[in-house]
Amino acid sequence: MRKIIIDCDPGHDDIMAILLALAHNEEFEILGITTVAGNQTLDKVTANILKVEDWLGIDIPVYKGYDAPLIRRPEPQPIAHGESGMDGPVLPDPVSEPQKLHALEFMKQAVSENDKVTIVALAPLTNIALFLKTWPELRRKIDCIALMGGSVYGGNIQKKSEFNIYHDPEAAKIVFDSGVRIIMAGLEVCYAGSILLKEAEEFKNGGKVSKLCYDLMQFYGLYAVNRGWDRTAVFDITPVVYLLKPELFEAEEMDVDIELDGEYTRGMTVCTSPAEHPKTVLLNTDREAFISVFLEALDLLDKRYV
């Protein structure tokens, strides 16, 4: 069983990625969830995961991390995720609270106490960068960092930059240069695995978890609807699908350098090969097989949480 820490900024797609991991409790032991400022403020994204946990009746420990990038101001994304960071579902305010331990201290504890830990990174890399800098001796105990971030060819927050890397490029550089094995799920592979909006419509006919995802998609899918698209990427599920089914993906070992500055290039992931310090860069996937992994997970969760 793979032991994982999920570092996230929920976020509609973060929640769906966490649900996907939760469905596969025979594959993943979720040691804890750490939160970081990104899609919205730290307090809002932390409240979002606690709301979902309370609503499902689960108790995965949640640890708050950093409320800002290493040297820059936060840049929340209300257009993509709303003022709450998870607009759409109407859930009660959380009753449960985050753990008292800071996210970094939890990471130290979890990595120290386990032989190998996988970090699933779905957000700006602030927490992970500071963990790696603070306790570099623990790097050898990390199996890999499977992250959603970056791109080979283009961007979504800027022409050449993907949001998670753009938000804290200094942190991203620390992580990519750390020597820890990196699996990068960038924009290209996320778009290749997009869900059709008509597929998401069917969620309303499912059980409790499917209906939650339907409510999530009603807001999350507006970006695509307003542009006349028939599908949308659910970005953060991609690294989780890869950990479950790596055979569904086309990948290349590449060097990845992080551009720190530039009016149009801040946060650009410069991917080149042949690689001297290779990272596994996911490039493409079988859309139907990819989405079936997510749909099957929702079916499992609908039977588990009624």
- Sorting pLDDT into bands at 50, 70 and 90, what band is 273? very high
Identify the sign of the CA torsion 34, 37, 41, 45: negative
Other Cβ atoms less than 10 A from the Cβ of 293: the count is 20
The rounded distance, in Å, linking the Cα atoms of 77 and 75 is 7
Average pLDDT over residues 85-98: 96
Please report where in the chains the tokens 């607009």 appear, as a residue: 87
106 pLDDT higher than 90 = yes
SS3 221: coil
How does DSSP classify residue 171? Answer: H
- Sorting pLDDT into bands at 50, 70 and 90, what band is 148? very high
- Sorting pLDDT into bands at 50, 70 and 90, what band is 79? confident
Extract the tokens encoding 77: 């994304």
Give the largest CA-CA distance in the chain.
Answer: 51
Mean per-residue pLDDT over the chain, rounded? 97
pTM of the model: 0.97
Angle made by CA atoms 261, 263, 264, in degrees to the nearest 5? 100
Domains of the chain listed by start with CATH number: 2-186+236-285 (3.90.245.10)
Closest CA to 55 of 216, 200, 240: 216
Angle made by CA atoms 11, 228, 83, in degrees to the nearest 5? 25
Average pLDDT over residues 126-155: 97
Which H or E element spans position 272? strand 269-272
Average pLDDT over residues 19-44: 98
Average pLDDT over residues 33-53: 98
